[in-house]
Amino acid sequence: MLTFLVVCFVGSVLSARIPSQRNKLDFQPYSDSEDAKLTVLQIITKYGYPCEEYQVKTPDNYILTIHRIPNGKKPTQTTKEVVYLQHGLLSSSADWIISGPGKGLAYVLADEGYDVWMGNVRGNKLSRNHTYLNPDTSDEFWDFSWHEIGYYDVPTMVDFVLERTNKESLFHIGHSQGTTTFYVMTSLRPDYNSKIKAHFSLAPIAFMNHMTSPLMHVVAFWQKPLSVLLNLIGVREFLPSNEFMAMGGNILCGDDSLTQILCTNSLFAICGFSPNEMNATLLPIMSGHTPAGSSTKQFLHYAQEINSGKFRRYDYGIVGNLQKYGSMWPPNYDLSKVTAPVYLIYSNNDWLAGKIDVERLYKSLGNSKGRFLVSEKSFNHLDYVFGIRARELVYNKLVSLMKH
Ligand SMILES: *[C@@H]1O[C@H](CO)[C@@H](O)[C@H](O)[C@H]1NC(C)=O
Ligand SMILES: *[C@@H]1O[C@H](CO)[C@@H](O)[C@H](O)[C@H]1NC(C)=O
């Protein structure tokens, strides 16, 4: 079993590097899963919402895509509050709209009168670009973890949004890795705290030694040899989404298909899922957009957290750490420097955000304002974005906290 999973992990990393397999499959989606094939911009427009798309450049020359829904279907006259949504690992801005109008968080917030912005971090298929590094051929492109995402990408996008909207501060909502990168940003660049009106962590991830995901346990167990192996073969991209995945999703996950469960993609393999909270009709659409791609270093950095029980920078080994940080161990992220108001929303059945770890995070933060346990016991990590009852169980609470 363990060996099988490791082979899958390495295999997926390797196959991700064979570009010839991409783009060759001429694939016709079923009409009811048309959204699997459309871009984020096309989907939002299709449902009658205005949508804008921007490209921004980070200080280290990655080119990122940002989406905006400036207003809901009934535009309001009052000056709008700005909310910025940050997706998780292997995901993209598509997360916030896949469930459709009235369900996806981006639509819900737009309908509530917010100016909604959605970031995409380096390495996902919407931000797989750089001014001079080629993601298909350059290992240097993939040499990043969520550290760089929190240090460069999120601040760049937050600044862009504030400049465009002429605001001093915004609401920040993160899911999963989108919470980790928030904590990296505000602990290492404390001047960003004043740009955050409030932050809401959906499935908060900082400490990880109580997480229960079997696949992540395996990655953590093999973290050292995997690091060595990946350094040797020079492969750094993990599972970008492509037409092949979209096709797999459609063939295996059509509503009438008995093999529906088999379509479970790497995202579900890592995060688990609660059958009761999942809308099976959405599976082909999800598979068209996720996994959206990331670097292997993001996984290895999380695996290090699982092993060390610390929220700290990437571990390069003693020699590498001495060179990079001037100390034998990587420095911790100082959570007491996170002085923006933070609300944590967590759940019982979350494979990745364990309750003990969330409580430790809550006590470590500089300005914890509240923590809320989702009332549904089976609510899992991905249900915050894809769950049938996400609105009822989470988003309504979010909106009332934001209005307050
Ligand atoms: C990458 O960014 C450059 C701008 O530097 C742009 O011209 C090009 O079209 C982008 N490529 C993709 C695939 O988006
Ligand atoms: C599942 O998703 C489909 C497509 O968006 C939607 O029509 C349906 O109402 C959803 N079902 C539930 C129970 O939310």
Q: Which domain holds residue 152?
A: 2-18+27-403
CA distance 389 to 299: 29
Per-residue pLDDT band at 217 (split at 50, 70, 90): confident
286 Cβ inside 6 Å of ligand 2: no
Nearest ligand to the CA of 63 is 1
Which pLDDT does position 2 carry in this prediction?
39
pLDDT for 115 beyond 90: yes
Q: Which is more confident, 255 or 218?
A: 218
| CATH number of the domain where residue 244 is located | 3.40.50.1820
Q: What percent of the chain has pLDDT over 90?
A: 65
Give the mean pLDDT of 221-237. 77
Q: Which ligand has the minimum distance to the alpha carbon of residue 43?
A: 2
Measuring CA to CA, how many Å separate 182 from each of 55, 150, 177, 299?
20, 6, 8, 17
Catalytic residues: 176, 381
Ligand 2 lined by 388 (C-beta under 6 Å) = yes
Taking Cα atoms as reference points, which of 170, 181, 196, 175 lies closest to residue 81? 170
**Nearest-atom index, ligand 2, CA of 103:** 14
Establish whether residue 260 lines the binding site of ligand 2, counting it when its CB lies within 6 angstroms of any ligand atom: no
Q: Mutate which of 129, 130, 133, 242 to test ligand 1's pocket (most atoms within 8 Å of Cβ)? A: 129
Closest CA to 365 of 357, 354, 353: 357
User: pLDDT at position 253, please?
Assistant: 55
Place of tokens 């060759």: 24
- Give ligand 1 pocket residues (Cβ under 6 A): 63, 129, 131
Count CB-CB contacts under 10 A for residue 175. Answer: 26
29 or 185, which is more confident? 185
| Confidence bin at 3 (pLDDT 50/70/90) | very low
- Phi and psi based region of residue 272 (left: phi greater than 0; alpha: psi -120 to 50; beta: remaining): left
Q: What is the pTM of this model?
A: 0.88
What's the pLDDT score for residue 58? 98
CB-facing half-sphere around the CA of 392: CA atoms within 13 A: 7
Residue 120's nearest CA partner among 142, 138, 94, 145 is: 94
The pLDDT mean for the chain works out to: 85
Work out the average pLDDT over 202-206.
Answer: 97
Q: Helix 214-221 crosses helix 223-233 at what angle (to 10 degrees)?
A: 70
Number of domains in the chain: 1
Q: What is the pLDDT of residue 216?
A: 83
Q: DSSP secondary-structure letter at 79?
A: P
Q: Flag whether pLDDT at 257 surpasses 50.
A: no
Per DSSP bridges, beta strands 237-238 and 294-295 are antiparallel
pLDDT at 334 over 50: yes
- Could you tell which of 34, 47, 281 is best to mutate to test the pocket of ligand 2, judged by most ligand atoms within 8 Å of the CB? 281
> Looking at the predicted structure, is the pLDDT value of residue 121 above 50?
yes
Radius of gyration of the chain (CA): 20
How many whole angstroms from 103 Cα to the centroid of ligand 2? 9
Give the pLDDT mean for 106-131.
96
Q: Which of 88-97, 270-279, 329-338, 353-362 has the lowest mean pLDDT?
A: 270-279
Select the more confidently predicted residue: 116 or 250: 116
Which has more pLDDT, 162 or 8?
Answer: 162
Q: Which one of the ligands is nearest to 97 CA?
A: 2
Residue nearest to atom 11 of ligand 2 (CA): 279
DSSP state string for 136-150: TT-TGGG---HHHII
Residue 25 has pLDDT above 80, yes or no: no
